[in-house]
Structure 1
Amino acid sequence: MTSTALREGRAATAVRPSRARTKRNLVTLALLAPALLGLVIFFVYPLVASVYYSFTRFDLVSAPQWIGLRNYQYLFTQDPNVWEATLNTLWFVVIWVPVKVAFALLIAGLLARARRASGFWRTVFYLPALVPPVASVVAFVFLFNPGTGPVNQILKVFGIQGPLWFNDPAWSKPSLVLLGVWVMGDIMIIFLAALLDVSKEQYEAASLDGANGLQKVRYVTLPSIAPVLLFSVVTGVIAAIQYFTEAAVASGVASGKAVIGEGISNNLGYPDGSLLTYTQWLYVRGFGTYQLGYASALAVLLFVVAAVILILLLRRFKAFTPEGAL
C-alpha cells in the first residue's frame, strides 16, 4: 500500500506541472493571437498568393490561368525595361544608402561634440525628416530647376554654370541623393543617441594608450555603435530596394506632369529612364497594364533578392553579438 501510494503521489505531482505548462502555453498563445493573425493575413497569405499568381496569367477580371514559368522566362529574357530598372535600383542601394548613412553619422558626431545650442541644431537637422516625401521632392525639383531655381541662380553669381539636375540623366539620381542627405534626420537622431551612450572611460583609456582621433573612432566608436550602424544600413537597403515615391514624383514634376498616377507609363523614369526603379516598373505592369501575374513574378523576385542581400549583411556584420562586433 505504501509503494502504491507513493507511485500515485508521484504521478499526480507529474501531472500538475504538465497541466500548468499547458495552461501557460495556452495563455501565451491567446496573447500572441492578434499578432499572429495579423502576420498570417498581411504577410503569409499575400506572400503565398503572390507566389501562386506568379505562375499564372491574371488580370483581376478573369480567373487566373496556369502558365508555369512563362512569366519568369519573359522577365529574364524579354522584358525591355526590367534590367534598366534593376540597375537604377542597385545604384540607389550602392550609392544612396552609404552616402545617407555616412552624412547622418558625421552630423551626429558633430552634434555629440557640440557645446552650445546643441538642442537648436538637433532640431534644425531633424525637421526635414518630418516633411512628407512628396512635398520634399516637389520643393527640391523647384530649388534645382535649371532655369529658374535658386540653386543655379546662386551658382551663376559665382560664375558656375549649373547642371540640369532632375532634367539630366547624369544628374537626376545624384539629385535624389542630395534629397536623401537633406532628410537624414531620422537616422541622425538614432546615431546621436548611440554616440552619447558610448562610455567616456573607453575614450580615456584609448587616450592613455596613445590612440589618436581616427584610432578612437576605429577601435572605440565603431564597435560601440555597430548594432545601430547595422540597423541603419539594413533599413536603408530595404528603403532603397523599395524606392518608389521620390523617383516617381521627381520624374513627374521635372517633366511638367504633376499628376503621377494618370499616364505614368508616358512619363516613366524621366529623364531617359534614369529614375525608373524596380518598384515603379512592378507598379506599372500590375496596375497600369493589369498584368497581375507578371507583376507577382516581379514581386517574388524582389522579395528573394532583398532577403539574400539582408542575410549577407547580417552574416557580414554579426554586430548583435559581442564577439561579432566590428
Structure 2
Amino acid sequence: MSALGEFRSLSRSRGRRAGPPDAEEKRDNRAALFFLAPWLIGLLGITLGPMIASLYLAFTDYNLLQDPEFTGLDNIRRMLTDDRLAQSLQVTFGYVLVSVPLQLAVALGLALLLDRGVRGLSLYRSVLYLPSLLGTSVAIAVLWRLVFGVDGLMNAFLGLFGVEGPGWISDPDTALSTLIILHVWTFGAPMVIFLAGLRQIPRELYEAAATDGASRTRQLFSITLPLLSPIIFFNLVLGLIGSFQSFTQAFVVSNGTGGPSDSTLFFSLYLYQEGFTSFRMGYASALAWLLLIIVGAFTALNFWASKYWVFYND
C-alpha cells in the first residue's frame, strides 16, 4: 500500500473512532477497567473511604467503644487551647526546618563527590543508599537508643578523649538533635536522585566554562545548581512531606511518650496518643486533617516559590 493509501486508511479509522465506540473498543475498555479494578478498589476502600470517615469523625466525640456523638466545632476550639498540640507543632516545625535542609545538603555533597568518577561507584552507591532503607525501621530506632544512651557508643567514643557525654536521648536539650541526626543519616534516596540528575548535565557546559576560566565554585553556582534545581525542588517537596509524617523514630526512642519533657513529641506521635492511647479518636481525626492542611500549605508554598529559583531546561 502506498503512503497516500495508508494515510487515507488511517484517516478513515480515526473518523470511525470519533463516533460511538465499536465492539472492539468496548472490549478494550472493559479490559482496562478489569486491570485497574484493584487500584480503584484500594483508592475507594483504603484512601477515600477512610478520609471521608475521618472528616466526619473530626466533628464528633468518639472513643472507639461507643457510637460517635456529633459535637460540631468542639474539637477545633480545643486545638486553640491545647498546650501539648502547640508543643508538638513547635517540635515538628523545628525538626523539619533543620533536618530537611541538612539532609539535602549532605546528599548533594556526596552526589557531587561520586559524580567525579569514583572507582567502584556502584558499590559506594549501594552502601550509601542502605541507610534510606533502614532508617525508618524499628530496628534502627532501637539501635539509635543504644548509640546515644548514657552508656551508648557515642559516650564510649567521647570517653576515649576524657569527655563525659550526656544522656543524649534522656536530655531534653539534645533528644531532638539525635532524631535530626538519624534523619540526615538516611540521605541515600535523595543522593541517588541527585546523582542521576548530575549525570544528565552536558559535560560540554563544564568544558566551555573551564575554557573561559571559570573556577569549580563558579561552575557549581552557575551551571550545576541551576540545572539541578528541578531535582532539588523534587527532593525538597518529598523531604518536607515525609518529615512532617515522621513517627517511628520518636515513638521508639521515647517509648511512645514523646519525652523527655515532650522534647520529641512529633505531631504524628501526639495524634497517635490522642487516638489510640487516650481513645479520643474524634479529636485525633481533627488533628489528622490539621496535618493535611499544614503539609498542603507547605507544598503549595514551595510550588509558588519555585518559580523564582527552579529553572527548567526547555
What is the TM-score with the length of structure 1 in the denominator?
Answer: 0.82
- Corresponding residue number in structure 1 for 2:112: 109
Task: State the secondary structure of the residue aligned to 1:322.
Answer: coil
Counterpart-to-counterpart distance in 1, 2:15 and 2:248:
60
Q: Does residue 29 of structure 2 align to residue 27 of structure 1?
A: yes
Q: How is 1:188-227 mapped onto 2 (pairs within 5 angstroms)?
A: 188-227=191-230
**CA pair 160-56 structure 1, distance change in 2 beyond 3 A:** same
Alignment gaps of 5+ in structure 1:
1-12, 253-263
Residue 274 in structure 1 maps to residue 263 in structure 2: yes
Residue 293 of structure 2 is aligned with which of 272, 280, 304?
A: 304
Letter in 1 for 2:265: L
* Per-residue deviation, residues 2-23 of structure 1 (Å, max 9, x unmatched): xxxxxxxxxxx97862214998
In the alignment, which residue of structure 2 is the partner of 1:144? 148
Find the partner of 1:40 among 37, 40, 44. Answer: 44
Cα distance, 1:248 vs structure 2: 0.9
Alignment partner of 1:59 is 2:63: yes
User: Match for residue 6 of structure 2?
Assistant: none
Is the alpha carbon distance of 1:68 and 1:114 closer, same or farther for their aligned partners in structure 2, counting shifts above 3 Å?
Answer: same
Match of 1:322 in 2: 312
RMSD: 2.6
Total equivalences in the alignment: 296
Q: 1:209 to 1:84 in 2, by over 3 A?
A: same
Contiguous gaps of at least 5 residues in structure 2: 1-13
The DSSP-based 3-state class of the residue aligned with 1:316 is: helix
1 CA distance for matches of 2:295 and 2:51?
A: 14
> What are the Cα deviations for residues 41-72 of structure 1, in whole angstroms up to 9, with x where unaligned?
22222222111111111122222211110010
**Per-residue deviation, 1:315:** 1.9
- TM-superposition CA deviations, 1:259-281 (whole Å, max 9, x none): xxxxx4xxx11211100111111
What's the TM-score, normalizing by structure 2?
0.85
Query: Take 2:280 and 2:76, find their aligned partners in 1: how far apart are those partners?
Result: 13
> Residue 36 of structure 1: CA displacement?
3.5
Is the CA contact (8 Å cut-off) linking 1:100 and 1:177 kept in structure 2? no
Residue of 169, 172, 175 corresponding to 1:169: 172
Which amino acid is 2:306 matched to?
F
Structure 1 residue identity aligned to 2:214: A
The one of 258, 275, 294 aligned to 2:283? 294
